[in-house]
Chain A
Amino acid sequence: MSAFTAVLARDLRLAARRRIEALLPIAFFSVALSLFPLGVGPEAQTLRQIAPGIVWVCALLAAMLSVTQLYAADYADGSLEQMLLCGDSAVVIAAAKALAHWLLTGLPLILIAPLFGLLFDMQGDAIAALTFGLLLGTPILSLLGGVGAALTLGLRSGGVLLILLILPLCIPALIFGAGAVSAVVSGISPQGHYSLLGALLIVTALLAPWATAAALRISTE
């Protein structure tokens, strides 16, 4: 467990020393979301209807754009290879890295999502459903993104490639996350959507660190 906490603490400390860089995904999320009322038009009715979907899509894109840097710096300066050689399981490193990514991008997104809910004229219970869905769903994005980041290490067009590889796999999280809000708005219980999101989170948490570890071994051998 010590390797887990060490990698996690290291990533968080690195982020704390480059604060502006750590805030970039949130900035992207906010700017991207602000474009929609300009493009679609400011009618409250339309915005309320599309808000859950576009918040989720922007969260997906923010996660995919930021996750490319998860292993890149460590790979470039060789510390990733040292970490893999030091005897601790690569699975533990992958899990710690995914958690660090979620704490640095997923959690802030969840914190400011309610604010955008208000800007898009959503009701209180819909905002709560959106936030809870993001809480269950964003860890899935960080875990899957880790697989993509490990696979595309050091490739010329890694960033775009990662998006092409991983976004199709994120579709279930998007569907159930946005679906929970629609269920609340139309007066149905969102319980089923939460359960499916939770199930997806458990399955991803069980499988993705292993896939990431395998991908890291493939990419660094």
Chain B
Amino acid sequence: MSSSPIRLFTFAAPSRFYGLAGALTPWFWVATIALAAAGLYIGFFVAPTDATQGEAYRIIFIHVPAAWVSMVLYMAMAFWAGIGWAFKARLASMVARAIAPTGAMFTFVALWSGAFWGKPTWGTWWVWDARLTSYLILLFLYLGYIALVEAIDDTRRADNAGALVALVGAINVPIIYFSVKWWNTLHQGATISATTAPKMASTMLTAMLLMTLACWAYAFAVVLTRTRAIILERERHADWVATLAREGSK
């Protein structure tokens, strides 16, 4: 088995994915730390003070990356949950469940950092603006998915029911986004437009992109680690897990 060449679905087997994820996780942690250090350094020491917002704008370096990552993670979660449901691919369902808490965490970070940004710049912690409200709903969709899969004891039913909820939510995300937008036209301006010289804007952009990559590396590291834990939990009766436990206890 170990001598067979790597094919498209080689790592769809939980036992092989367990090894692969274990090998990759340390590298993602290294990337997280390196990228976050570089991004924070540029963000706090190289990027200049914003002309209108002062120092408060530096929240952008965590706010925007968290928002991007949380949105893409929802689509990834719905995608893998759907694959797991349609093709009975166990690993895909496990990955979907591993993504959910990280996505919810990033959504919460985006909302929370947004509140801290809103207080000094808009003078309020929260407005019922289109983007804020649809973000809050995204958090509810994540929480609904997590609550449903945790409430069902049967693993297969939990995975499939979660997939249905995630996919329905994915269809609804654009509908919710536009309905909320039409409901209240008060809207925040584009977040990336810096009014300073292009050279300064580019350092801000660099810091933000580095932080986005750092968030991605963190998301990969945590999701892979959580997937490994879920694999061990579900495959606890399999021989390879028993072998692993025996080797580990020696």
Question: Are B168 and A161 in touch, CB under 8 angstroms?
Answer: no
How many chain A residues touch B (Cβ–Cβ < 8 Å)? Answer: 27
Q: Which residues of chain B are within 8 angstroms of A157 by Cβ–Cβ distance?
A: 151
- B147 within 8 Å of A by Cβ? yes
Query: Chain B residues with Cβ under 8 A from A219's Cβ?
Result: 157, 161
Query: Would B151 and A156 count as touching, CB distance under 8 A?
Result: yes
Query: Which residues of B have CB within 8 Å of A172?
Result: 172, 175-176, 179
Looking at the complex, which one of B152, B168, B179 makes contact with A147 (CB distance below 8 Å)?
B168
- In the complex, the answer to whether A221 meets B157 with C-beta atoms within 8 Å is yes
Known interface pairs A147-B164, A164-B143, A169-B168; 9 further A-B residue pairs with C-beta atoms within 8 A, sorted by A's residue number: A152-B151, A161-B147, A168-B169, A171-B137, A171-B176, A176-B179, A179-B182, A179-B183, A218-B164
Query: Which residues, 49 to 98 on A, are CB-close (under 8 Å) to B?
Result: none
> Of residues 173 to 221 in A, which have CB atoms within 8 Å of B's CB atoms?
175-176, 179, 196, 200, 207, 211, 214-215, 218-219, 221
Q: Which residues of B contact A214 (CB under 8 A)?
A: 164
Flag whether B112 is at the interface (Cβ < 8 A): no
Q: What are the 10 tightest A-B residue pairs by CB atom distance, in nearest-first order?
A: A172-B179, A218-B160, A175-B183, A165-B144, A168-B140, A164-B144, A175-B179, A155-B151, A168-B137, A151-B161
11 A-B pairs within 8 Å (CB atoms) are namely: A147-B164, A151-B165, A161-B147, A169-B172, A169-B176, A171-B137, A172-B175, A179-B183, A215-B164, A218-B161, A221-B156
Q: Are A211 and B164 in contact (CB under 8 A)?
A: yes
Which residues of A line the B interface, CB within 8 A?
147, 151-152, 155-158, 161, 164-165, 167-169, 171-172, 175-176, 179, 196, 200, 207, 211, 214-215, 218-219, 221
Q: Which residues of B contact A152 (CB under 8 A)?
A: 148, 151
State whether A175 touches B151 (Cβ < 8 A): no
**Given A172-B176, A219-B157, A161 and B148 contact (CB-CB distance below 8 Å):** yes
Q: Are B164 and A168 in contact (CB under 8 A)?
A: no
- Residue B56 lies at the interface, judged by CB distance under 8 Å to chain A: no
CA distance A196 to B161 in the complex (A): 29
In the bound complex, what is the Cα–Cα distance between A219 and B168 (angstroms)? Answer: 17
Contact A164 B147 (CB under 8 A): yes
Q: Cβ of B176 and Cβ of A168 under 8 Å apart?
A: yes
**A155 and chain B: residue at smallest CB distance:** B151
Question: CA A196 – CA B147 in complex, angstroms?
Answer: 31
The minimal Cβ–Cβ distance linking A149 to chain B, given in whole angstroms, is 12
Report the Cα distance A121→B148, complex, angstroms.
Answer: 41
Task: Give the distance in Å from the alpha carbon of A196 to the alpha carbon of B178 in the complex.
Answer: 11
A175–B168 touching, CB < 8 Å: no
Q: Considering only CB atoms, which chain A residue lies closest to B158 in the complex?
A: A218
Q: Are A215 and B140 in contact (CB under 8 A)?
A: no
Asked if B141 is an interface residue, CB under 8 A from chain A, the answer is yes
Q: Which residues of A contact B151 (CB under 8 A)?
A: 152, 155-158, 161
Instruction: Quote the shortest CB–CB distance from B178 to chain A (angstroms).
Output: 8
- CB nearest to B184 among chain A residues: A175
CB contacts (< 8 Å) of A215 on chain B: these are 161, 164
User: Is B180 close to A, CB under 8 A?
Assistant: yes
Q: Which of B148, B156, B176, B179 contacts A165 (CB 8 A)?
A: B148
Q: In the bound complex, do residue A168 and residue B175 qualify as a contact, i.e. CB atoms below 8 Å apart?
A: no
* B152-211 interface with A by 8 A CB criterion: 152, 156-157, 160-161, 164-165, 168-169, 171-172, 175-176, 179-180, 182-183
